[in-house]
């Protein structure tokens, strides 16, 4: 790295955690170098972005979305142009013509979410078919770097191991890799492999005994303003309290912060094992870890409440999010949300007659020109009240 480049990276103030990750530094430099490109140049690249041979669906979709953001479709028209553009490239640019035919059979009502599910399902089916009958062309499909998980690493390893043994079978299957145990001895390909579901060593994800699915968290690009965020105080078990602007997300099941916030505010806090999350469209998000912390929120009336929670550090997150469960515990939304209205008025306390008379007396004393000293129900024709010029209702 040249002295000028090194100076640029240091002045960027990416945070301690980001400075240790070469991929974040490279991405920052790429974005910096491409900052001056004209949107028409990006649109030309977007229109010619077809799925390359052996490129996984998720890597290709990520490339399309990255180019579409740089094309500034929402400035010229609306955000729907970006969605329709990605949908069009998905149909026209997918490598497998059979998949394209399947998408076209849906007709004009095909949505982007349907197209993504269809192409991912087709790729998964091809990989599973390769697992049953190794040796086909599917074996060359690369796994998504976006998911950061080698979900099908065991397929190629097991296929290579199968060709080296005799074709006799015992009928039993290995509970670590899922393949048949050969009579001449079984050299399990998963014995030193790491499961991409529970992170334990010694078995593949396909036979992992841990049940349940990933927590869901919505991390798509949100056009939020400063008023959308709320200030909360996060106090880890091993550090001082830090105020963080977070986005209340009723679709999230995790309290989470991006790596940049962790590096700048909680870099000295030790991380425990985290929970891998997924977006609303099913894309997996790598977790860097989690830590226990106390979360405190002060409402606009001055009242405050704190809860104990687990804060997760997620790679693809753009801003801190507060889960629905935490919002309910802090009193931001009703406990029964979404089954009750947020602004539902409940009559929980009626003032006594003495309290009502006292309040009326104070009101009449404060506004003698409006009241004549007696507060009673008016028995007359309906009247129209007009504010004086410059008056402000309170």
Q: Is it the case that residue 295 has pLDDT exceeding 90?
A: yes
- Quick one: how far is CA 168 from the chain centroid? 47
Question: Tens digit of pLDDT for each residue in 55-86?
Answer: 888 888 888 888 887 777 766 666 667 788 88
**pLDDT class of 155 with cuts at 50, 70, 90:** very low
pLDDT, average across residues 249-266: 87
Q: Would you call 383 helix, strand, or coil by DSSP?
A: coil
Q: What is the CA radius of gyration of the chain?
A: 30
Tell me how many degrees the CA angle 222-226-227 measures, rounded to the nearest 5: 100
- Of 268-282, 349-363, 365-379, which range is least confident? 365-379
The answer to whether residues 181 and 174 touch, using CB atoms and an 8 Å cutoff, is: yes
Helix runs in the chain, H state only: 3-11, 16-19, 22-33, 39-47, 57-70, 73-76, 79-93, 97-106, 112-132, 153-162, 259-265, 324-330, 353-366
Task: Tell me how far apart the alpha carbons of residues 176 and 147 are, in angstroms, rounded to a whole number.
Answer: 23
Q: Would you call 295 helix, strand, or coil by DSSP?
A: strand
Backbone angles phi, psi at 126, to 5 degrees: -65, -40
- Of 156-165, 173-182, 348-357, which range is least confident? 156-165
The candidate with the shortest Cα–Cα distance to 321, out of 307, 335, 311, 329, is: 311
Considering only the C-alpha atoms of the chain, give the largest distance between any 2 of them, rounded to a whole number of Å: 106
Q: Is it the case that residue 163 has pLDDT exceeding 90?
A: no
Q: Which domains does the chain have, with CATH numbers?
A: 14-144 (no CATH), 149-212 (no CATH), 213-368 (2.40.70.10)
Per the prediction, the chain carries an average pLDDT of 76
User: In this predicted structure, what is the pLDDT of residue 301?
Assistant: 78
pLDDT, average across residues 165-185: 65
309: burial class by Cβ within 10 Å (0-12, 13-18, 19+)?
buried
**pLDDT class of 206 with cuts at 50, 70, 90:** confident
DSSP string spanning 207-271? G------PEE---S-----GGG-EEEEEEETTS--EEEEEEE-TT-SSEEE-HHHHHHHSTTSPP
Q: Strand pairing partners for 297? A: 232, 305
Question: Tens digit of pLDDT for each residue in 47-58?
Answer: 888 888 878 888
Q: How many CB atoms lie within 10 A of CB 258?
A: 21
Q: Is it the case that residue 154 has pLDDT exceeding 50?
A: no
Q: Which residue has the higher pLDDT, 180 or 290?
A: 290
Percentage above 90 pLDDT, the chain: 5
Threshold 0.75, pTM exceeds: no
User: In this predicted structure, what is the pLDDT of residue 235?
Assistant: 92
pLDDT, average across residues 164-181: 64
The answer to whether residues 232 and 295 touch, using CB atoms and an 8 Å cutoff, is: yes
pLDDT, average across residues 278-292: 78
pLDDT, average across residues 176-192: 75
Helix runs in 94-224, H state only: 97-106, 112-132, 153-162
Tell me how many degrees the CA angle 133-134-139 measures, rounded to the nearest 5: 125
The answer to whether residues 214 and 276 touch, using CB atoms and an 8 Å cutoff, is: yes
**pLDDT class of 280 with cuts at 50, 70, 90:** low
User: In this predicted structure, what is the pLDDT of residue 294?
Assistant: 92
């Amino acid at each position: 790295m040249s002295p000028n480049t090194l100076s640029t990276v240091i002045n960027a103030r990416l945070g301690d955690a980001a400075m240790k990750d070469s991929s974040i530094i490279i991405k920052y430099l790429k974005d910096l170098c491409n900052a001056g490109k004209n949107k028409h140049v990006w649109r030309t690249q977007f229109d010619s972005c077809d799925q390359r041979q052996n490129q996984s669906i998720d890597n290709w979709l990520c490339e399309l979305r990255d180019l579409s953001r740089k094309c500034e479709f929402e400035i010229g028209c609306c955000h729907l142009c970006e969605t329709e553009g990605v949908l069009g490239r998905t149909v026209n640019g997918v490598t497998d013509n059979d998949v394209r035919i399947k998408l076209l059979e849906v007709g004009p009502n095909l949505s982007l979410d349907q197209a993504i599910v269809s192409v991912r399902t087709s790729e998964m089916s091809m990989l599973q078919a390769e697992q049953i009958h190794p040796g086909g062309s599917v074996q060359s499909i690369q796994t998504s770097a976006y998911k950061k998980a080698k979900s099908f690493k065991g397929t190629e390893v097991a296929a290579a191991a199968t060709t080296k043994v005799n074709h006799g079978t015992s009928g039993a299957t290995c509970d670590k890799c899922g393949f048949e145990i050969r009579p001449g001895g079984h050299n399990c390909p998963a014995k030193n492999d790491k499961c991409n579901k529970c992170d334990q060593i010694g078995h593949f994800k396909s036979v992992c005994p841990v049940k349940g699915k990933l927590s869901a968290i919505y991390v798509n690009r949100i056009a939020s303003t400063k008023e959308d965020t709320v200030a909360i105080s996060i106090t880890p078990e091993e550090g001082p309290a830090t105020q963080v602007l977070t986005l209340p997300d009723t679709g999230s099941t995790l309290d989470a912060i991006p790596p940049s916030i962790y590096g700048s505010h909680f870099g000295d806090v030790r991380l425990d094992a985290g929970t891998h999350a997924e977006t609303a469209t099913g894309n997996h998000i790598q977790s860097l870890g989690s830590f226990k912390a106390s979360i405190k929120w002060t409402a606009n009336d001055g009242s405050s409440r704190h809860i104990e929670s687990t804060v997760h550090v997620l790679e693809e997150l753009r801003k801190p999010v507060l889960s629905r469960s935490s919002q309910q515990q802090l009193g931001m939304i009703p406990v029964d949300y979404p089954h009750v209205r947020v602004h539902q008025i409940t009559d929980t306390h009626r003032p006594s007659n003495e309290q009502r008379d006292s309040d009326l007396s104070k009101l009449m004393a404060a506004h003698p020109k409006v009241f004549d000293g007696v507060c009673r129900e008016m028995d007359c024709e309906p009247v129209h009240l007009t504010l004086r010029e410059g008056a402000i209702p309170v």
